[in-house]
Amino acid sequence: MYQRKKRRPVAEINVVPYIDVMLVLLIIFMATAPLITHGVKVDLPQMQESDLVETKDAPPIIASIDAEGRYFVSVGTDPEAPMDAVEVAAVIKLKLQQNPDTPVMIKGSGHVSYQEVLLLMDFLKNAGVPSVGLMTKSFEES
């Protein structure tokens, strides 16, 4: 007569399905990671180096926002005339076409909303400004 062997239960964990799931997740994260990074590149000025921006040839273009949310540009026909954000971007784009190495800085009032600064940065990015610096005031000036 035929005798059956008793099988012992296997105490090992089958990890192959877990490896498959991890590889799929890895591929998904690798494919979506470059799509997540977006925004405006900002070079923040360092306070330890110097109080002034050192440039070789041209002074920086300064786009300012006052407490009422009006925009100004340090170059152009009338630097004291308020403009809207589209005009600011157009003036800066024209100046950068003449001299592409000119740095662009944003000087905002402490009372202006953060949204206004982001709006100006977005207009400058769309105008082709490669990087934007944010002007700060040192503690000694306060």
37-48 residue pLDDT tens: 655 554 544 555
**At 78, which amino acid appears?**
D
120 vs 40 pLDDT, higher one: 120
Q: At what angle do helices 114-126 and 85-98 cross, to 10 degrees?
A: 40
In angstroms, the Cα distances linking 123 to 14, 47, 53, 63, 110 are 55, 26, 23, 11, 20
Give the pTM: 0.54
Quote the pLDDT of residue 136: 72
Give exposure, 48-71, as e/b (b: 16+ Cβ within 10 Å). eeeeeeeeeeeebbbbbbeeebeb
Task: Tell me the percentage of the chain whose pLDDT exceeds 90.
Answer: 9
User: What pairing do the DSSP bridges indicate for beta strands 42-43 and 132-134?
Assistant: parallel
Query: Model confidence at 19, in pLDDT bands (50, 70, 90)?
Result: very high
Instruction: Average the pLDDT over 9-37 and give the result.
Output: 87
Which one, of 127, 136, 135, 121, lies nearest residue 39 by Cα?
A: 121
* 31-88 pLDDT per residue, tens: 988 777 655 554 544 555 444 545 456 678 888 888 888 888 887 666 678 888 788 8
39, 64 Cβ separation under 8 angstroms: no
96, 129 Cβ separation under 8 angstroms: yes
The token pair that represents 7 in the structure block:
């099988």
Q: In the predicted model, what is the mean pLDDT of the chain?
A: 77
